[in-house]
Structure 1
Amino acid sequence: MEEGSVGIIETEKYTYPKTIELDSGKDFGPIDIAYETYGELNEEKSNAILICHALSGDAHAAGWHKGDEKPGWWDNMIGPRKTFDTDRYFVICSNVLGGCKGTTGPPSINPETGESYGLDFPVITVSDMVKVQKKLIDHLGIDQLFAVSGGSLGGMQALDWAVSFPDSVRFCIPMATTAISSPQQIAFNEVRRRAVMSDPKWREGDYYGGQPPEDGLSLARMIGHILFLSDESMRQKFGRRLKDKEEYSFDFSTDFEVESYLHYKGDKFVKNFDANSYLYITRAIDYFDLTNGGEISLEEAFDRVSAKFLIVAITSDWLYPSYQSKDIVKALQANDVEVTYSEIKSSYGHDAFLIEHGQLKYIVRNFLSRISVRDIVTDVPIVRKDTSIKKASEIMISSEQTHLPVSTKGGKLAGIITAWDIAKSVAEGRESMDKVMTGEVVTATPDESINSVTEKMKKHNISALPVVDESGKIKGIITSDIISQLFTGEKIFTENSNP
């Protein structure tokens, strides 16, 4: 089927009313968080994917704002039947802490002074950004993200999610990123910051209400954009072609098309981004180091992660070269973490993760298709054979579950009881569990493939399978609703089927 758009989107805002402790040791808050969502959250709240943006991105990842000339920054990846399929997933994207697109940052009003924070805004880290995102995810009532993904700075956030909140992420898909900012990357960031700070209009960050440092920020963006491209992409796009002239001017005006392009990018950027936010976000990138300054190894940094990983690098990326992605893979493998490594073959350089959506769709969907039962199994209350029908009904209502596994005293599966079973038993005046539960139950194992489970559901016309380990102990339940939304996009069973 043809890919679609999420349509017209409005940015939402959540205000976290308390403070968070920043890595600097300072307490900071309250915090406004700008975010957008696409698709619908399923009843189990198990289909949420968090998309993390790069340096100059924002919460508007997909769809259109009214009056805009172009869609969100990753619109080619997010939407119906796209890589992050909004017919299946509930996709979230928020503006980072320190940003300038709705989340609290240097341009925001400091409640203590009534004026913009400017340089009174605290220095932040990528981990601080993730802490704020976690507050948003908690606000949305989501205990565990199905996946978290992003490129560049977004990839750093994805990695930090898996490390800082290991039980809150099932799949981690960082792209074109690193686990430790290198000296060269820090050096480039410093040059860009100095371009901003050398502009007389910067005024030590106190330019709000006046003229912003447009020249400095434009130059910083020009430098950055060179890093995002590759030598081959610039050769293909511009070559040595002159701009609107037949010969050299023999002065310092714009001669080449590539010069004109960089000026265009710089001038456009200053209309949409805050110079101080640029300083704070690049500094956060500098500080990113999962080894905490070498206090631990990268292998030790990943020793608590529980997510499965897809690490994506770009063959022509010289800002975040592929060896840095391979270092992440090696560290994960040293911890026996399941990890897949893929490279985008592209001449576009670092920006390829924004452009090569065809390759990414194949890579990401192929990765997610390998999911097993243990990846999407849902915790569910368990009732005993001697539990009363009344008590079972109360548990079912409070947990909002339609199927409850029934266990023996040793915790092994004895059967399953459904909402239909309870309704029938109440109508017939029955009180004993073993008279109404189904004893012969089709089950799934944690390592079983989703395709296998889907076939069982179709064959037996059932909508839920208890998940049991080798000893027969109950590990949870897997429902057709989750499978339908995450994988098939369509119903695979009758609505009121009874095991």
Structure 2
Amino acid sequence: MSTASTYSYPKQFKLESGKKIRNLQIAYQTFGKLNANKDNVIWVCHALTANADVFEWWEGLFGQNALFNPQEHYIVCANVLGSNYGTTNPLSTNPVNGLPYYLSFPQFTIRDFVSAHQLLANSLGIRNIKLLIGGSLGGQQAVEWGITEPNRIENLILVATNAVHSPWGIAFNESQRLAITTDRTFYANQPNGGSKGLKTARSIALLSYRTYNAYGNTQVESMNDKTDHFRASSYQNYQGEKLINRFNAYSYYYLTKAMDSHNVGRNRKSIAEALRLIKANTLVIGIENDFLFPISEQKYLADHI
């Protein structure tokens, strides 16, 4: 059984920055049922442009006949703050003036993701989470949640993520934001503003998690006489078009800012000390050809949790 719902927070939601959001909405999906002991919860933290339908984008791991299935587990996946899949985001209506926020939306952090989803978990009557899992941006959220509520999380799986976003990762994100802001329609305050820039940003992003060998295996030409219209060129354009047909530039801009903000050591003794606060049984998974989250970052997590 799958249920798509929206949680409305009745109070003002205070961000880490001190700014507040009225009428916070959190879109989420649940699969299965919470058992009598309330000890079968799997909470999924999604990546940058994903949605709350984990069965759609994590097929094989999640599904009716998968390891994480709704017959045994109560699976929850909530859309993060700022994303355009139902949770309050830059295209949402600002209750102060009745207009979409666009670039007046307050900047938020990974910790704000966690705070919002803690509110949702409380509203669902979830006291303990059997397994918290996330990759990339979702992994950043998962590690931060493991630190802030160590007694709530029993098991933790971190996939291709880090304890602090690297200068390399920030540089990739800034390059994407430069592409978005070069598109002057980004400042036009319209839902599709910055779409051409977002297409370019997606092309840049692909290069951070695709490799020389991957392109060589999938985009190699079958003929030697081509001088234009290469498969690799078509692929970059195709992936960019796919993203702008389902996502908006404003959410993308803000979400990359949130990713850059990730640092578990902020306002704590140190990064290492913060990681030691995690009590959950933790599995850290790295991907050898991931340039954005290299294996060294996964080793650091594993060594210090």
Alignment TM class, shorter chain as reference: over 0.9
Q: Which position in structure 1 is the counterpart of 2:235?
A: 261
Match of residue 163 from structure 2? 179
Distance 1:105 1:214 in 2: 16
Superposed displacement of residue 240, structure 1: 4.2
Find 2:270's aligned residue among 297, 300, 314.
297
Q: CA deviation at 1:110?
A: 0.8
**2:120 is the alignment partner of 1:136:** yes
Q: Distance in 2 between matches of 1:199 and 1:241?
A: 35
Instruction: Tell me, yes or no, if the aligned pair for 1:125 and 1:285 is still in contact at 8 Å.
Output: yes
Match of 1:230 among 211, 227, 237: 211
Alignment of 1:3-402 (within 5 A): 9=2, 11-62=4-55, 72-203=56-187, 206-208=189-191, 211-241=192-222, 247-249=225-227, 254-292=228-266, 296-332=269-305
For residues 226 and 215 of structure 2, the distance between their equivalents in structure 1, rounded to whole angstroms, comes to 20
Distance 1:139 1:226 in 2: 40
Deviations 1:426-449 (A, max 9, x none): xxxxxxxxxxxxxxxxxxxxxxxx
Q: Deviations over 1:188-221 (max 9, x none)?
A: 0000011111102111x6223xx52221010001
Q: Does structure 2 retain, via aligned residues, the 8 Å contact 1:98–1:277?
A: yes
Shift, 1:10, TM fit: 5.1
How far off its partner does 1:20 sit? 2.6
**Per-residue displacement from partner, 1:233-271 (whole Å, max 9, x unpaired)?**
2111112456xxx6334xxxx521011011000011101
**TM-score, normalized by length of structure 1?**
0.59
Whether the 8 Å CA contact 2:3–2:31 is kept in 1: the answer is: no
Deviation at 1:109, TM superposition (A): 0.8
Question: Moved runs in structure 1, 4+ residues, more than 3 A?
Answer: none
> Alignment partner of 1:50: what SS?
strand
Structure 1 vs Structure 2 CA RMSD: 1.6
Secondary structure of the residue aligned to 2:57 is coil
Which structure carries more relative contact order (alpha carbon 8 Å, separation 6+)? 2
User: 2:164 and 2:302 mapped to 1: Cα distance?
Assistant: 13
Structure 2, unaligned runs of 5 or more? none
Letter in 2 for 1:331: H
Q: Is the 8 A contact 1:80 1:86 kept in 2?
A: yes
SS of the residue 1:172 aligns to:
strand
Letter in 2 for 1:286: D
Asked whether the 8 Å contact 2:195–2:248 carries over to 1, the reply is no
Given residue 330 of structure 1, which amino acid in structure 2 is its aligned partner?
A: D
- Deviation per CA, 1:418-466, whole angstroms, max 9, x where unpaired? xxxxxxxxxxxxxxxxxxxxxxxxxxxxxxxxxxxxxxxxxxxxxxxxx
For 2:167 and 2:288, the matched residues in 1 are separated by 21
Secondary structure at 1:78 match in 2: coil
Structure 2: distance between partners of 1:331 and 1:303: 6
Q: TM-score, normalised by structure 2?
A: 0.95
Aligned AA (1:325): Q
How far is the alpha carbon of 1:26 from its aligned partner? Answer: 1.4
Closer/same/farther in 2, CA of residues 176 and 141 from structure 1, 3 Å limit = same
Q: Which residue number in structure 2 is paired with residue 467 of structure 1?
A: none
1:279, CA displacement in angstroms? 0.6
Quick one: which amino acid aligns to residue 293 of structure 2?
Y
Whole-Å separation in 2 of the counterparts to 1:124 and 1:46: 31
Q: Give the AA of the match of 1:213.
A: G
2:22, 2:95 within 8 Å by CA — same for their partners in 1? no
- State which structure, 1 or 2, has the greater radius of gyration over its C-alpha atoms: 1
1:396-435 alignment runs, 5 A limit: none
Q: How many residues align?
A: 305
Distance 2:171 2:252 in 1: 15
Q: Which sections of structure 1, spanning at least 5 residues, go unmatched?
A: 1-5, 63-71, 333-499
Identity of aligned residues (%): 34
Distance 1:27 1:214 in 2: 28
Q: Report the Cα offset of residue 22 of structure 1.
A: 1.1
